[in-house]
């Protein structure tokens, strides 16, 4: 499960992102915040993998929030201001969504994020499709200090014996 936090001073913008995220069951919204201070508290509490972050918010901006984080998670900026795009990418943002953004543009940003995620975060169906029915055709084991390679087709029976297996 990929923990996600939404930080935007516009509740409708948070609602839209949450609605679009329903098509990505591997992403779980763990917190919605409406200013940078709430966002900072939620980040410390939940240790998210991804943040959707507005730039201009009351109290502290999205960039000021990022400066307070020692090891920031992946960031997708969602903002109505195009003049911050360069600064966002300098801050290693995954993407920069200019409001109002379409569902297709949102999905493109999510897919860009997912492409760079470790296998444990990928959808189970995606992993199964990549490697259908794969099974090893041999196993390697150590027997009395010697390494042996045994074809799987030659194995008739396996028997557990404490910390060992009898083949």
Single pTM value for the model: 0.70
Query: Where, residue-wise, is CATH 3.40.50.2300 in the chain?
Result: 2-128
| Residuewise pLDDT in 10s, the chain (167 residues) | 899 999 999 999 999 999 999 999 999 999 999 999 999 999 999 999 999 999 999 889 999 999 998 889 999 999 998 898 888 888 889 999 999 999 999 999 999 999 887 655 555 545 555 555 556 677 767 777 777 778 888 888 878 777 777 77
Pick the CATH number of 2-128 from 3.40.50.2300, 3.65.10.10, 3.90.1150.10, 3.10.20.30: 3.40.50.2300
Alpha helices in 47-145 (DSSP H): 62-68, 85-90, 103-115, 124-130
CB contact at 8 A, 49 and 121: yes
Structure tokens at 116: 């760079």
């Amino acid at each position: 499960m990929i923990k996600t936090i939404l930080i935007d001073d516009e509740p409708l913008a948070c609602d839209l992102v949450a609605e679009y995220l329903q098509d990505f069951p591997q992403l779980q919204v763990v917190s919605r915040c409406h200013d940078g201070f709430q966002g900072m508290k939620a980040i410390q509490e939940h240790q998210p993998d991804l943040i959707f972050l507005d730039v201009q918010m009351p109290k502290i901006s999205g960039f000021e929030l990022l400066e307070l984080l020692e090891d920031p998670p992946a960031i997708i900026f969602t903002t109505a201001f195009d003049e911050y795009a360069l600064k966002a990418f300098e801050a290693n943002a995954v993407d920069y969504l200019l409001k109002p953004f379409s569902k297709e543009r949102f999905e493109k940003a999510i897919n860009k994020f997912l492409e760079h995620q470790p296998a444990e975060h990928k959808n189970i169906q995606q992993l199964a499709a990549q490697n259908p029915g794969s099974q090893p055709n041999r196993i390697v084991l150590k027997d009395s200090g010697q390494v042996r390679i045994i074809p799987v087709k030659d194995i008739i029976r396996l028997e557990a014996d404490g910390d060992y297996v009898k083949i």
